[in-house]
Amino acid sequence: MANHLRFVGRTVMVQNGNVEAAYGVLNRILAQDGVPEAVRRSRYYEKPSRARRRRAFEACRRVYCAEMGRRIAFLARSGRQDPWLGC
């Protein structure tokens, strides 16, 4: 179990007895994985219709964010010619 990739990815070393900093790093890692949201979501019963709406919203948001990231990367690429030369 200790060599499992997800376990190793969530392992935080405490340096110089600074537990607070290690706790903050661990919380950040878990938040990126979405663990606190999953725990909060499973605390109460979620109706199936609400779960479908939430999953659809999350899927739409993923698609939107990916598309906007692609567009921003396209516009911010280096070596791009100026579209309005005379202005």
Residue pLDDT, tens place only, 25-49: 999 988 988 889 889 999 999 999 9
Cβ-Cβ contacts under 8 Å for 68 (sequence gap 6 or more): none
Query: Considering the entire predicted model, what is its pTM?
Result: 0.57
pLDDT at 55 over 80: yes
pLDDT at 33: 86
The token duo for 82 is 């100026």
| C-alpha closest to that of 6 among 36, 37, 40, 32 | 32
**Number of other CB atoms surrounding residue 25 within 10 Å:** 13
Dist CA 67 CA 72 (whole Å): 9
Domains of the chain, by residue range, sit at 9-44, 46-78
